[in-house]
Structure 1
Amino acid sequence: MQTQMTWISTQDDQKLCAKTWGDAEKPALVLVHGYPDNQEVWEPIIEQLIHDFYIITYDVRGAGQSSIPKRIRDYALPRLSLDLECVVNKLLPNRQFHLAAHDWGSIQSWESVTETKFKQRILSYTSISGPCLDHAAFWMRDQFMHEKPKFFKQLFKSWYIVAFQLPIIAPTVWHFFSPQRWGKVLSQLEGSKDLPLNQNISKDGEYGIALYRANFVPRLTMPRQRYAVCPVQAIVLKQDKFVSPELIDEMPKWVTEFERVEIDANHWAILSKPEQVALYIKKFIQLKARTD
């Protein structure tokens, strides 16, 4: 697949590595990766969608080839939303676009999807295994009051969030992960062999921990009311070991036009079942294009 790489300066002087894929005359689709990945994780999806869309990917700050901020607060959600704005202003000037994101990419993209400045510009949003932290906080509070088994089920799945708060141990653990070792972990989780390897996994894992440290405590203790400015589709992964499908139950409260679809897969379905994920992204975009 042919691609062009562009370096993009952010408002706080970070450098983001971005790539464009396909025909610029086709509808624009921005893909935002999660943790501990970089933009290369989208390539199996891009193979399925490149004939229908002009695709933009980028390494979020601290991942891939993008620069690494020195301060934890530089990973806060408002700053990540500004990064997306810088990317689309550079590569899609004055253009509308569709958005799809996975894991932490999805969490951070909710910040943009609930910003009024993106209204009429983001045409649709497909969220994969990454709820809005504010919505998740409201859901957790409600479950604690009325459905404690569901609350503790998600709390157990989120053990890694607490572990990632440890200042020295958590980043150091990633030094022991080679691409091959991490590949074995993914293969076991997904029940699929020969998944693409992340050659930068040690650094992506180490520096991306700042995403958790900068955002989870503020958002889960002081949630904000955040309403989506565009239609939203949630791709629910029924076997997800990290995000309970029940968390998606909160989304319709904050989204005017909401669709929910399910895939019988684990957390990294974008690698293990890219055809199904890509098909749902494509169908949702086409549906919104017909109804607009």
Structure 2
Amino acid sequence: MDEVTQYVTTSDGLQLAVYESGQEHAPVVVLVHGYPDNHHVWDGVAAELADEFRVVQYDVRGAGFSDVPGATSGYRIDQLVDDLGCVIAAVSPESPVHLVAHDWGSIQCWDALPDDRLGVRIRSFTSVSGPSLDHASMWLRAMHRGPVRRLLQIVESYYVGFFMAPVLPEFCARRGIIGRMVEHSSSLGRPSTRRIGETVERSEAEAVNGIALYRANMPGRLLRPRPPHVTLPVQVITPSHDVHVSAALAAEAPRGYAANLTVHRIRGNHWVVAQRPAAIATLVRAFVDQVTPELAGAPDDSDYPR
């Protein structure tokens, strides 16, 4: 979707570009993208859901047509949660929304879920390839429960340390190296012939700006975790060939912190939201029906994508 329907002002004065589609008076689904994406990564899913929901996409700060913070601190998760709250207040002031997020979009949304943040404004949450950093830190510390899986995840997360370095990550982003890293991970276990570069347009600025997400949040969250406890319904979708977030981390890290947790394993890699939009939309629709049975009947198991 290309046309901005409104700009939402954040608590620190930035403007976020918001895009709306679907049915005007239907339940609202808010889609939050990660790094190094913009709202376009959700276009396929939005099109699949538009016949039943009012679908809201937005460019997070530093991406797409949204403003760019002037300092790394502007990318802290607390500020990103405030941004989400501003968007929800603007698009659905009267009713709670169904939240769906991917990658860094999902990472930030976990902090929005407790009741003392935005939990009362959110009816359900679907997370794809984006665990809470605090949950992830606690999972990694429990080495005695499966050291091999945890050590493999640490190896697969090599790029996190790389993004902490000064200057070099920005240089690599401007030379297209980060883009090639994305292309590589998007080719693994693909269920179709579509590569992420063919379905999502990104800019050099988005690749550069989003590096601040890692610098602003990773050290404190991983070293001093404060895992959020969540009572609202949470669905975690774990792609089978995700080299950035292992299925073990995504499925196990929330256990003990999410009281109402559903986990679905699906064929695909880290970019499954762009490559298999119909499958993601099917899971989102079924989950919404499950937590709001007044909207529709529960689906048969055969309806679930694999």
TM-score of Structure 1 vs Structure 2, range by shorter chain: over 0.9
- 5 Å matches for 1:37-48? 37-48=37-48
Give deviations 1:36-86, integer Å, cap 9, x for gaps.
000011001111110011011111011111111121111111100000011
Q: Aligned in 2, Cα 1:123/1:74: closer, same or farther, shift over 3 Å?
A: same
2:300 aligned residue: none
Q: 1:52 to 1:291 in 2, by over 3 A?
A: closer
User: 1:107: Cα distance to partner?
Assistant: 0.2
Which is worse superposed, 168-177 or 196-205?
196-205
Aligned to 1:245: 247
Q: How many residues align?
A: 291
Q: Say what the alpha-carbon RMSD is for the aligned residues.
A: 2.2
**1:135-284 map, 5 Å:** 135-143=135-143, 145-177=144-176, 184-185=183-184, 188-189=187-188, 191=190, 192-193=193-194, 195=196, 196-247=198-249, 248-284=251-287
Give secondary structure in 2 for the equivalent of 1:155.
helix
TM-superposition CA deviations, 1:126-161 (whole Å, max 9, x none)? 000000111111100012x44321221000110010
SS of residue matched to 2:142? helix
Residue 181 of structure 1, CA deviation: 6.0
Percent of aligned positions that are identical: 33
CA–CA distance in structure 2, aligned partners of residues 161 and 194 of structure 1:
23
Separation (CA, whole Å) in 1 of partners of 2:112 and 2:23:
25
Answer with 122-131 or 12-21: which moved more: 12-21
Partner Cα distance (2:225, 2:54) in 1? 35
- After superposition, the Cα gap between the structure-2 partners of 1:50 and 1:206, relative to the gap in structure 1 and judged at 3 Å, is same
Residues 260 and 180 (structure 1), Cα distance of their counterparts in 2 relative to 1, 3 Å cut: closer
CA offsets per residue over residues 227-256 of structure 1, 9 Å max, x none? 114100000111111101111212121111
2:20–2:57 CA contact under 8 A, matched in 1: yes
* Distance (Å, rounded) in 2 between the aligned partners of 1:138 and 1:184: 30
Task: Report the Cα distance in structure 1 between the residues aligned to 2:33 and 2:72, rounded to whole angstroms.
Answer: 19
- After TM superposition, the score normalised by the length of structure 1 is 0.93
Bigger mean CA deviation after superposition, 273-282 or 193-202: 193-202
Q: For residue 298 of structure 2, what is the aligned residue in structure 1?
A: none
CA gap of 1:115–1:163, structure 2 versus 1, over 3 A, is farther
TM-score normalised by the chain length of structure 2: 0.89
C-alpha deviation, 1:187, in angstroms = 5.1
1:96 corresponds to 2:96: yes
Q: Does structure 1 retain, via aligned residues, the 8 Å contact 2:195–2:275?
A: no
Contact kept in structure 1, 2:133 and 2:221, CA below 8 Å: yes
Kept in 1: contact 2:14–2:67 (CA 8 A):
yes
> Which segments of 5 or more consecutive residues in structure 2 lack a partner in the other structure?
296-306
One-letter code aligned to 2:80: L
Unaligned runs of 5+ in 1: none
Give the C-alpha shift of residue 2 in structure 1. Answer: 9.1
1:288 aligns with 2:300: no
CA contact (8 A) 1:113 1:230 kept: yes
Shift of 1:174: 1.3
* Cα distance change, pair 114–198 in 1 and its aligned pair in 2 (3 A): same
Distance 2:189 2:168 in 1: 27
Contact map agreement 2:101 2:127 (CA 8 A) in 1:
yes
Does structure 2 conserve the Cα–Cα contact (< 8 Å) formed by 1:99 and 1:125?
yes
Instruction: Determine if contact 1:116/1:229 at 8 Å carries over to the other structure.
Output: no
CA distance in 2, matches of 1:218, 1:132: 13
Higher helix share: 1
C-alpha distance in structure 2 between counterparts of 1:224 and 1:61, whole Å: 24
